[in-house]
């Protein structure tokens, strides 16, 4: 089998200490291969977001290893880690808000700006992604003037603009109505199917989880079961 795009070994995350110590992840070891779609499911507080933040290199484990393309990340300097994160990952996280006073195009091209891409190339690539998501007509709108579903699509556009290998999504359909959820799901799985993007999705939505090729079921900081095979129509 190919080298996993992401792998963990005995991943542990402890929050706080003493009386307030909380073991959020209790030693997880697993692999995610390039082009896979993986859902992380489980009850509120089971450690899903904590795990995703560690996988996405947004936080550091208390102990254990996250390796990217076979290379342990702990061995790298922080600057190298942020470069890797910006070049390899896209994020659709609810806490990564759009800047309401910037235009949609400015918002979604931010990862390219961080990567040092010049303005005309940024705008060209930004428009390309907005067209892909059927949002080109909103490019010059202030982000504040979008509907909920459009905001979510703008977040996806921003996640895609740097052509990531792995797309992380934390409850991507959490606040959306059924019709908009379906649009967002179609976009995510379309990217997975047509562009071979690796999808890692945290979700309470059984329908969305069922469309992924693999489900990691979390309970109290552990993966207590794993399911293979999509049950939905998309895979």
Please identify, among the stretches 42-50, 66-74, 105-113, 191-199, the one whose residues bind Mg ion according to the rule CB under 5 A: 42-50
| Residue 118 binding: pick among ligand ATP, Mg ion, none (C-beta 5-8 Å cut-off by kind) | none
Dihedral sign from CA coordinates of 148, 162, 119, 99: positive
Helical segments of the chain, H only: 48-55, 78-88, 104-108, 110-114, 119-132, 148-160, 178-195, 206-211
Query: Judged by CB under 6 A, does residue 47 bind ligand ATP?
Result: yes
- By C-alpha distance, which of 179, 132, 182, 194 is closest to 159? 132
Considering only 41-49, 93-101, 158-166, 178-186, which stretch makes contact with Mg ion by CB under 5 A?
Answer: 41-49
Which parts of 49-68 interact with Mg ion (CB under 5 A)?
Answer: 49
Residue of 15, 115, 128, 140 interacting with ligand ATP (CB under 6 A)? 15
Q: Does 96 bind ligand ATP (CB under 6 A)?
A: no
Using the contact rule CB under 6 A, the part of the chain among 4-12, 40-48, 70-78, 225-233 near ligand ATP is 40-48
The reply on whether position 50 binds ligand ATP by CB under 6 A is: yes
Q: Does residue 109 bind Mg ion (CB under 5 A)?
A: no
95 near ligand ATP, rule: CB under 6 A? no
Burial 192-208 (b: 16+ CB within 10 A, else e): beeeebbbbbbbebeeb
Asked whether the beta carbons of 66 and 54 are under 8 A apart, the reply is: yes
Residue 66: CB minimum distance to Mg ion, A: 18
70 binds, among ligand ATP, Mg ion, none (CB under 5 to 8 A by kind): none
Planar angle of CA 137, 140, 146, nearest 5 degrees: 75
Q: What does the buried/exposed string (b/e) look like for 106-130 if buried means 16 or more CB atoms within 10 Å of the residue's CB?
A: bbbbbbbeeeebeeeebbebbbebb
With CB under 6 A as the contact rule, which of the stretches 48-56, 93-101, 125-133, 156-164 interacts with ligand ATP?
48-56
Nearer to ligand ATP, 15 or 96 (CB): 15
In the complex, least distance from residue 94 CB atom to ligand ATP, rounded to whole angstroms: 10
* Closest CA relative to residue 93, chosen from 36, 48, 32: 48
Q: What secondary structure letter does DSSP report for 67?
A: E
Is position 49 an interface residue for ligand ATP (rule: CB under 6 A)? yes
Q: What does the binding site for ligand ATP look like in residue numbers (CB under 6 A)?
A: 15-16, 22, 24, 42, 44-50
């Amino acid at each position: 089998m190919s080298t996993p795009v992401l792998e963990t070994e005995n991943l542990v995350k402890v929050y706080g200490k003493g009386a307030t110590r909380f073991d959020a992840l209790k030693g997880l070891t697993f692999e995610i291969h390039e082009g896979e779609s993986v859902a992380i499911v489980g009850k509120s507080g089971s450690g899903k977001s904590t795990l995703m933040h560690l996988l996405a290199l947004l936080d550091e484990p208390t102990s254990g290893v996250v390796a990217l393309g076979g290379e342990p990340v702990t061995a790298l300097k922080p600057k190298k880690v942020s470069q890797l994160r910006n070049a390899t990952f896209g994020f659709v996280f609810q806490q990564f808000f759009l800047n309401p006073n910037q235009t949609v195009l400015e918002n979604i091209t931010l990862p390219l700006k961080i990567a040092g891409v010049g303005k005309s190339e940024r705008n060209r690539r930004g428009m390309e992604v907005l067209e892909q998501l059927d949002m080109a007509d909103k490019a010059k709108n202030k982000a504040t003037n979008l509907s909920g579903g459009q905001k979510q699509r703008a977040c996806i556009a921003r996640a895609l603009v740097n052509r990531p290998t792995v797309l992380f999504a934390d409850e991507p359909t959490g606040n959306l109505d059924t019709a908009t959820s379906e649009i967002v799901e179609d976009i995510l799985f379309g990217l997975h199917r047509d562009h071979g993007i690796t999808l890692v999705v945290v979700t309470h939505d059984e329908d969305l989880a069922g469309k992924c090729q693999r489900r990691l079921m979390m309970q109290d900081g552990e993966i207590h079961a794993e399911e293979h095979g999509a049950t939905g129509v998309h895979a």
